[in-house]
């Protein structure tokens, strides 16, 4: 099992710490995606008058749990005495969002609850999400790591440029549930239902 060791080299910037951490575990290929999401998250945070630095930090750490092999994720979660949902047992990769928040706290000493919240739901979102949660969630979807332009990207970006943050998240979740879902995670379903009750998407 991957152990969470405290990162002691505080003289380096977070980018350097993250890269060193990934390189030491053979996962440096993830670094460009982390930077891309961090920059995208910071861009929209600035646009929505949110904490740009927090959004950037959350982006840099959102997938840091790539260092945990999928076959070890259940054991990692159990070792932290955390609930594992049925969907997560079926697809342990879904635990990576919460485990990234754990490593952000234990390895990189992140204590800001807003940053940890955004990291912990960046894949599924959740009901009662904050604006920063939405910001990182959408940045990750705009800068997805499949090597192609997301099919929803133009519509999502247009909504963001109109300052329709919740509508943009709803648009993505609607697309996800109609086109690309492997396992229905309760957090995503609850977020979808909540957003449907709050906003409508007008393209």
Compute φ and ψ for 91, nearest 5 degrees.
Answer: -135, 85
| Cβ-Cβ contacts under 8 Å for 5 (sequence gap 6 or more) | 107
Token output for 129 = 């999400």
pLDDT tens digits for range 25-40: 999 999 999 999 999 9
pLDDT tens, position by position, 83-139: 999 999 999 999 999 999 999 999 999 999 999 999 999 999 999 999 999 999 999
pTM: 0.93
What is the predicted pLDDT for the residue at 5? 44
Per-residue exposure over 31-50, b if at least 16 CB sit within 10 Å of its own CB, e if not: bebbbbbbebbbbbbeebeb
How open is the CA angle 160-166-168, to the nearest 5 degrees? 45
Q: Which residues of 69-100 are buried (b: 16+ CB within 10 A; e: fewer)?
A: eeeebeebbeeeeeeeeebbeeebebbbbbbb
Q: Give the per-residue pLDDT at 160.
A: 97
What is the torsional sign of CA 9, 14, 20, 25? positive
Q: What is the DSSP letter of 91?
A: -
Chain centroid to CA 132: how far?
11
**Residue 164 pLDDT exceeds 90:** yes
């Amino acid at each position: 099992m991957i152990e969470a060791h405290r990162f002691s080299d505080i003289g380096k910037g977070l980018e350097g710490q993250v890269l060193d951490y990934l390189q030491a575990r053979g996962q440096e290929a993830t670094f460009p995606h982390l930077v891309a999401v961090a920059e995208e998250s910071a861009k929209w945070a600035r646009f929505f008058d949110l904490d740009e630095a927090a959004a950037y930090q959350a982006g840099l750490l959102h997938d840091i749990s790539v260092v945990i092999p999928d076959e070890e994720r259940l054991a990692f979660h159990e070792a932290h005495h955390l609930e594992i949902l049925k969907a997560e047992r079926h697809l342990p990769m879904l635990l990576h969002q919460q485990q990234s928040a754990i490593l952000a706290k234990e390895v990189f000493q992140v204590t800001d609850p807003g940053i940890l919240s955004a990291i912990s739901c960046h894949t599924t979102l959740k009901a009662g999400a904050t604006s920063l949660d939405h910001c990182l969630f959408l940045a990750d979807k705009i800068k997805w790591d499949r090597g192609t332009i997301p099919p929803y990207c133009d519509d999502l970006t247009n909504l963001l440029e109109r300052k329709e943050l919740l509508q943009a998240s709803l648009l993505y979740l609607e697309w996800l549930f109609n086109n690309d879902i492997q396992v229905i995670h309760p957090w995503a379903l609850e977020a979808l239902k909540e957003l449907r009750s709050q906003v409508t998407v007008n393209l």
